[in-house]
Structure 1
Amino acid sequence: MIRKFEDLKVWQDARMFVNVVYNLTNSDVFRKDYGLKDQIQRASVSIMNNIAEGFERDNNKEFVKFLLYAKGSAGEVRSLLYIAYDLHYIAKEEFETALEQSLNIIKQISKFISYLKTKTN
């Protein structure tokens, strides 16, 4: 049973993804590009925080709204990963792994939104 946002698998995966993003951006090359580093880190944190904030609203309509924000942030991270890869800040394998993780989170969020839209408060 889900009693708190920490019980949600999608939030747990988003939390792990934040660590992936922070580890990817901990290199010297990212230290020289603070703007990109800051943007991708903030967007990754936004995913898990919007899931948590929406959950705490105790209202499916509000939760869906915040899940949509989280999904948008996950899309933003995906786009920023392409920039990091194109600029050779991250290796192809790192890029592909992070991209796959972001897509997984987006799919989970989409399914969760569909589920919540069928429920009433």
Structure 2
Amino acid sequence: MPSNIAEGSAKDSQKDFLRYLQISLGSSFELETHLLLCIDLELVTIENTKNHLDTVERLQKRISSLIKYVKTQI
């Protein structure tokens, strides 16, 4: 996720940056899904994974907010 944001910020246009932010947001949802699958498969416990899920949710909100802001700049 951070690599996509960094790469997008180096692009020539806000439109390109927006695309990379959207990819980053998609990656965050993939990560969330992987964590939930690990819980379902009993590879980890919900107690050990809850903090990670909370962090991913906060990142999703922040990336979404940045996407909204960048859209206003286009």
Residues 9-60 of structure 1, C-alpha deviations (whole Å, 9 max, x = no match): xxxxxxxxxxxxxxxxxxxxxxxxxxxxxxxxxxxxxx11111110110311
Partner of 1:82: 36
**Unmatched 5+ stretches in structure 1:** 1-46
Count, aligned residues: 74
Corresponding residue to 1:97 among 37, 46, 51: 51
Q: Residue 8 of structure 2 corresponds to which residue in structure 1?
A: 54
Deviations 1:53-112 (A, max 9, x none): 101103111001000000000000000101111111112122211111111111001000
Which of these residues, 61, 64, 68, is aligned with residue 22 of structure 2? 68
TM-score by length of 2: 0.92
Taking only aligned residues, the RMSD between alpha carbons, in angstroms, comes to: 1.0
Name the CA distance, whole Å, in 2 between partners of 1:68 and 1:94. 28
Alignment gaps of 5+ in structure 2? none
Higher relative contact order (CA 8 A, sep 6+): 2
Letter matched to residue 49 of structure 1: S
**Regions of 4+ moved over 2 Å:** none
Rounded to whole Å, the distance in 1 between the matches of 2:18 and 2:61 is 14
